[in-house]
Structure 1
Amino acid sequence: MSEPQPDPSAAGDPSTRVPAARVPAARVLGVDGGGTKTVARLLEVGPDGRLCVLGSAAAAASNPNSVGWDSAIAAVVQACRGASGDSSPADAAVAAIAGCAAEPARSRMADLLSSAGLARRCEAVADAAPLLAAAPTGQPAIALISGTGSSALARSANGADTLLGGWGYLVGDDGSGLGLGRAAFRWAAQQIDAARADEPPCDPLCQAVLAYAGAADAGGLKGSLYSAPSPRSWLAGLAPVVIRLAEAGDRSASSVVDEGADALADLVLTAAGRVAEPDQPRPRVLLAGGLLERSAYYRRLVAARLERCGWTAGRLTLAPDAATGCGLLAVRLLSR
């Protein structure tokens, strides 16, 4: 099983060629907003059709379902102002914000962006939309996202998009940072409940959770989670700790991480069932979201499961940077 390779226009490449439409000298803003942070990029279309990054900035979380609308728009504005370096509006801005998959939420976010004077034309899209911005037209593709939450965007050969997963922390987000952190916390809680009073739990995963929380007992652990400004972000922040422990060979952590990888692979299989065409190769899968982007170990686990289901290594790649993908969508907005 090979490591999924970056898409040719993935994050790290300083420029991305604009497909189809060219808008010379246009300055656009692309915004990627999630449950943990918000990233904005100011980009310019050069005469050769390349979309070049002029500035980037980050701010706090902007999922309105997690932080509220006032905090969400404040984070987006702060990131955009930081990326642009001045108050002059861009020609267009496209923001992909977690929690804005439904049309009413997208319209509200777009109106707030316009009111903030960030760009002459503003649009909000589902947080998965920019991940397929550079995907070849006429071919089915799937963007798998695992960050604070998890979801998949499936695109059919005719260009129709279907969002799967993304059910949120109460009933979904399996395989995400929040999902891994939630499972590890639950494991630690079970170990603490089962331990004798004179023998604190010695399970490495339980000890790692307690150390992350800065707690010595059940009361401290509960207090650390439920007094956090964002319990969801607190749980998602635990995921890298669990992954590192799993990579080191701990059985309890490996069980949590394996279940997460299984959930993501199942989500891709469900998405493929919506867009795959008979007698054609498996749809291309683009892996995205902070958890998959930062952990090669977790990517390999997900990729191994998909390869066992018929995907080849060449059909599994890292997705382009989401904020840059929004820049591509902003250029297309200008051409409409």
Structure 2
Amino acid sequence: MSDQKNRIPTFDDVLEAHERIKPYIHRTPVLTSRFLNELTGAELFFKCENFQKAGAFKVRGACNAVFGLNAEQAGIGVATHSSGNHALSLSYAAGQRGIPVTVVMPHTAPQAKKDAVRGYGGKIIECEPSTTSREAVFAEVVAESGAEFVHPYNDPRVIAGQATCSLELLAQVPELDAVIAPIGGGGMISGTCLTLSNRAPEVTIYAAEPLKADDAARSLRAGHIIADDAPDTVADGLKVPLKELTWHFVSNFVSDIFTATEEEIIEAMKLTWKRMKIVIEPSCAVPLATILKNPKVFRGKRVGVIITGGNVDLDALPWT
């Protein structure tokens, strides 16, 4: 990774990203649920990135990276490795600019996400479901093609793009006490930290993680990155470990990381479908699951909850 890609993104990068990606994304709505407010004792404001272009927040970072390329690099194309949402988001962004895109995906990735990648014009190369395999196969792809690597989260362009989500949220919902988002590699939570630390430093930032993939929570407690190679969880978007850039934000700005069991995640997902009538992925249900599990932390507070995506394989729902 070059020095430019190693740099910590700034709030100016967020403002530039906000303008750059406007033509290619939705300003997603914020929804509330009286039932869930009464159940949790908190006022919950759900930022619904499941209604985003390509069905996930990751299109923000992907568009910022793709439309920030110069003409020469854009002509060669872009590449990434991803379990799904970044792959299809980068494919969407590349398609909007008309440039080639190759993605390395684990063969276990949800079929719905593979179909979406191909639908947007992306070329898929499959790998084993581990970070080691993913990165090894990807290195071969880049060496052969020379494509620009757009990392799913450890990239300042991507983090700045993801930060535009919480920038919108602050404009839509004033006087929040806290914001909580899922954490895997940490791109969304890093963007959230970047925006809130500059625009609303009084807002407490929490992250939510599957207990079976709790490397970020253990990292925060240990004070250094702990990376699991191939965790097994229904929350397929949260299996990857933190990296240097995202660790910077997590270690400096995240107050706590809460975990939820597989059963708690699935129940929160079902509850959201049932009560809010919206389609969300298992990964997006983790924040609600942890709010339900830790009521004393959130009771009486105005809490922004980032729903990160809605790309669900309807033929393989986790409760069927």
TM-score normalized with structure 2 length = 0.32
More helix by share: 2
